[in-house]
Amino acid sequence: MSSENFDNLRLELRRGGLVLAVLAALHSEQYGYTLRKLMADHGIEIDEGTLYPLLRRLENQGLLTSKWREEQKRNKRFYKLTVAGKQILEQLLNEWRSMDSSINSILKEYGHATSRTVLAGR
């Protein structure tokens, strides 16, 4: 049950982070498969069933642009950030950093007690 809870909470936590990671990775033009590999190389695993619908959603919101182009004898769809996408990415990164700083500040205040409790629990 605890593992199931962790999985659900982790999924929730990751959801917003994935959007940020995808937008950040699309500063340079990528097609789906290389984008997935790039993210995996940086420690963010994302399955195709999540990535492609997300790319479509971001494109519909005007944050990405895509075009089909032949490469290595196959047609591939390349995605890239739009100007609006770059602005939103900046805003989201600010939000992310502010949140990170707030959480760190909370942890700093209670961090000592928390780590002691964890150790006692062990």
Residues that bind another protein (CB under 8 A): 31-33, 48-50, 52-53, 56, 68, 74-77
Q: Check residue 122 and report its DSSP letter.
A: -
Q: What is the DSSP string of 62-78?
A: TSEEEEEEEETTEEEEE
Structure tokens at 3: 């593992």
Q: Measured from the CB atom, is 40 or 93 closer to another protein?
A: 40
Kindly tell me which of 50 and 65 has the beta carbon lying closer to another protein: 50
For residue 26, give both structure tokens.
Answer: 């699309």
Task: Give the residue with the Cβ less far from another protein, 50 or 82.
Answer: 50
Minimum gap (Å) between residue 34 Cβ and another protein: 8
